[in-house]
């Protein structure tokens, strides 16, 4: 959500209740035994970082340092807020709004590091700290937002905003501050403020439990194969990875497949053993839904109820109405309008795809009905038959390091940005690769880190974040320290990591977030980088994916890892021709999850729901076919129950509208047209959340985006 103030607190609370989840154990960050006194005296958080670009000195940070760092940081933040609230001088933009923005530097430093690492380097000790401090941080945020004297000062400044002659960024900061207080309950009476505090505390606690349960479920399941015949159809690279997983898990001489995506998706795509595919599919789609200690049904239901109660307390019809007020969609009705426009054509296309797979399967002698666990297997066969395109043929051309060079090539062609590997900078895990980033004039931009491989201590998925954002509010331009985290299978032996087409696209996607963080050029920390509405923040990352399939880019990096041969033109054409293949499935499974999210959060009752029955009814209402499960079922929908996307998962397709519309400009003017690239950089990437996103977009495009470009791209526009 965009309207936030006090970046350190907002960040801490958001991460405490969201990103600090879905983690496991096993970390290189050893929980060294340090006395309380030593933890304070030697604490690296209490001194200015002397590292280049102020990269956190990871090798010096121990588990024991976090508690005293959190304690002192919170004390400093509270003291700063009290000083602002009790200031006897007349409220001004500088002594109130700007002073709040500049408070909490230590808390920012601690939370950026702790919640950055717990996402990929979690330990039981870190999880315990998260559980301990999440409610404290939530309570502290409430103390700030519900501070009457502080709100009185903020309101006084806000009411004279038209006479203050503020620039655009200052005006945005003021608007965000005032709305942040109002939306956080500043206008409530004391009794309702107490209720709000309790609701926030419960929601924060349940969010952490949901994520921990999900990771435990994901890590617990293993399909152990001891008969080599059961590996039929699987590529050698997948078999080798399964053998390595088996060895790690104590099953020497066998093969283990898990519900982690790098294992799950290839198995469902290639395994000829239908019964084992069914087992894997059931395990994946029933995470958190096994009536055991890690069950998430009750948590999801209670969180939906608590969110509704909070929305009602704050004067909103539903939680979705509360959230979307600050998104570009503005209302659930607008979000539904977009989704419903796409849903019908997507579902019809999906039904045709089922028919195509059924016909193909029957031509091979299959007797029976295509089921959900057959989709990946038969869609791959149909794709190969229709386009003569086999994923196993394309993978050798998407070697990980080469693909990363393709990303860098694209950035250099667009904006003149270059990357130099720096092995001397601190890093939090051996898998991390660090780059110094330079602009086209040779000036330094910041630091970019990549962390590519799956490991038990890392939550699933892919993301971008920062150990430090770019800002200028203290006079100097603080350079960003940005990182991308992904979950590719680790290399086995001397073999390189070969990516599927989708995995390569994800690399470009996440870099799209990273380049926005790196090219950020703003004054206030809370407005820079990716500080954007949920339904707009995915736009720059989605645009970045478009360059990957352009022949000019492919020939730079898509080279066979053994022969060095550039990907053949005919193979590129097959990839492009198949671009609309299986879009019915891809769009429908995503939209089903987006609609499920809105269904949970447009509930107009606090009554607890039976999560499975609620979900089933929601899917029946929209007519979802049995061959497709929502991309995320309720019990493992981490985006909305342990992440920041509640009521906002639709945002990916909303952002897609801007992406498709933007790509029309590049296609028309040239994919590396410097005038377009410069305008895109200035009006989209550099500006972050300093202004209303639609206004910035219109400066770039000259108009609002046309949704038809998205439908046409997906092959869903009626002819």
**Which candidate, 85, 80, 97, 90, places its Cα nearest to that of 167?**
97
Give bridge partners of residue 435 from the DSSP assignment.
421, 448
- Paired tokens of 287: 């995470």
Answer left, alpha or beta for residue 399, where phi above 0 means left and psi between -120 and 50 means alpha: beta
Catalytic, out of 510, 538, 545, 615: 510
505-540 in b/e burial notation, b at 16+ Cβ within 10 A? bbbbbbbbbbbbbbbbbbbbbbbbbbbbbbbbbbbb
HSE value, Cβ hemisphere, 13 Å, CA-based, for 173: 25
Report helix, strand and coil shares of the chain as percent, to nearest 5.
60, 5, 35
Q: How far apart are CA 335 and CA 719, in angstroms?
A: 25
Residue 712 annotated in active site = no
| Cβ contact 522:425 at 8 Å | no
| Cβ contact 27:545 at 8 Å | no
**Which candidate, 500, 505, 426, places its Cα nearest to that of 462?**
505
In the chain, what is the straight-line distance between the N-terminal and C-terminal CA atoms, in Å? 37
Please give the radius of gyration of the chain, using alpha carbons only, rounded to the nearest integer: 25
Q: How far apart are CA 198 and CA 195, in angstroms?
A: 5
**Which candidate, 83, 307, 310, places its Cα nearest to that of 193?**
310
| Cβ contact 11:111 at 8 Å | yes
Which residues does the annotation mark as catalytic? 510
């Amino acid at each position: 959500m965009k309207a936030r103030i006090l970046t350190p607190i907002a960040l801490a609370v958001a991460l405490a209740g969201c990103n600090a989840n879905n983690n496991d154990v096993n970390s290189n960050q050893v929980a060294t035994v340090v006395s309380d006194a030593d933890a304070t005296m030697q604490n690296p958080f209490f001194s200015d970082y002397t590292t280049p670009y102020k990269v956190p000195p990871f090798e010096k940070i121990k588990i024991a340092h976090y508690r005293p760092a959190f304690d002192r940081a919170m004390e400093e933040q509270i003291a700063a807020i009290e000083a602002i609230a009790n200031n006897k001088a007349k409220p001004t933009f500088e002594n109130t709004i700007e002073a709040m923005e500049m408070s909490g530097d230590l808390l920012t430093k601690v939370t950026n590091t702790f919640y950055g690492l717990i996402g990929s380097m979690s330990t039981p000790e870190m999880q315990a700290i998260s559980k301990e401090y999440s409610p404290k941080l939530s309570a502290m945020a409430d103390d700030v937002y519900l501070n009457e004297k502080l709100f009185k000062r903020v309101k006084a400044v806000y009411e004279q905003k038209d006479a203050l002659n503020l620039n655009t960024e200052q005006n945005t900061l003021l608007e965000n501050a005032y709305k942040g207080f109002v939306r956080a309950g500043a206008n409530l009476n004391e009794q309702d403020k107490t209720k709000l505090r309790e609701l926030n505390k419960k929601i924060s606690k349940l969010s952490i439990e949901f994520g921990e349960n999900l990771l435990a479920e994901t890590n617990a399941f293993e399909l152990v194969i001891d008969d080599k015949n059961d590996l039929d159809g699987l590529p050698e690279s997948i078999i080798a990875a399964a053998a390595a997983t088996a060895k790690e898990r104590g099953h020497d001489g066998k093969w283990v497949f898990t519900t982690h995506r790098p294992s799950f998706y290839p198995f469902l795509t290639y395994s000829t053993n239908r019964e084992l595919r069914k087992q894997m599919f059931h395990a994946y789609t029933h995470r958190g839904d096994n009536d055991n200690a890690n069950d998430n049904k009750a948590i999801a239901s209670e969180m939906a109820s608590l969110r509704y109660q909070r929305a009602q307390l704050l004067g909103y019809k539903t939680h979705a109405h509360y959230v979307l007020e600050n998104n570009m969609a503005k209302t659930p009705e607008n979000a539904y309008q977009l989704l419903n426009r796409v849903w019908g054509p997507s579902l019809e296309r999906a039904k045709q795809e089922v028919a195509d797979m059924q016909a193909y399967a029957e031509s091979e002698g299959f007797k029976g009905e295509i089921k959900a666990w057959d989709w990946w297997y038969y869609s791959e066969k149909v794709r190969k038959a229709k386009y003569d395109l086999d994923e196993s043929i394309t993978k050798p051309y998407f070697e990980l390091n080469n693909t990363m060079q393709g990303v860098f090539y694209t950035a250099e062609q667009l904006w003149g940005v270059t990357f130099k590997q720096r092995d001397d900078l601190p890093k939090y895990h051996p898998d991390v690769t660090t780059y110094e980033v330079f602009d086209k004039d040779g000036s330094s931009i910041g630091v970019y880190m990549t962390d590519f491989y799956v490991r038990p201590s890392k939550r699933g998925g892919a993301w971008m974040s920062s150990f430090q954002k770019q800002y200028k509010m203290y006079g100097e331009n603080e350079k960003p320290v940005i990182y991308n985290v992904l979950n590719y299978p680790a290399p086995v032996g001397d073999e390189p990591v070969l990516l599927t087409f989708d995995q390569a696209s994800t690399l470009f996607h996440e870099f799209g977030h990273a380049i926005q963080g790196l090219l950020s050029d703003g004054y206030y920390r809370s407005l820079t980088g990716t500080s954007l509405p949920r339904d707009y923040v995915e736009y720059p990352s989605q645009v970045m994916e478009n360059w990957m399939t352009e022949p000019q880019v492919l020939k730079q990096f898509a080279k066979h890892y053994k022969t060095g041969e550039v990907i053949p033109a005919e193979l590129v054409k097959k990839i492009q021709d198949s671009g609309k293949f299986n879009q019915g499935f891809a769009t429908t499974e995503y939209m089903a999850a987006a609609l499920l999210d809105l269904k949970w959060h447009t509930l107009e009752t606090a009554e607890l729901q039976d999560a499975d029955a609620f979900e089933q009814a929601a899917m029946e209402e929209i007519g979802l076919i049995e061959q497709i499960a929502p991309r995320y079922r309720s019990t493992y929908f981490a985006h909305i129950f342990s992440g920041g996307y509640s009521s906002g998962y639709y945002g990916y397709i909303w952002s897609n509208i801007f992406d498709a519309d933007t790509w029309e400009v590049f296609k028309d003017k040239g994919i590396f047209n410097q005038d377009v690239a410069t305008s895109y950089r200035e009006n989209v990437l550099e500006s972050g959340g300093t202004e209303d996103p639609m206004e910035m977009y219109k400066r770039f495009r000259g108009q609002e985006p046309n949704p038809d470009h998205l439908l046409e791209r997906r092959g869903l526009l009626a002819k």
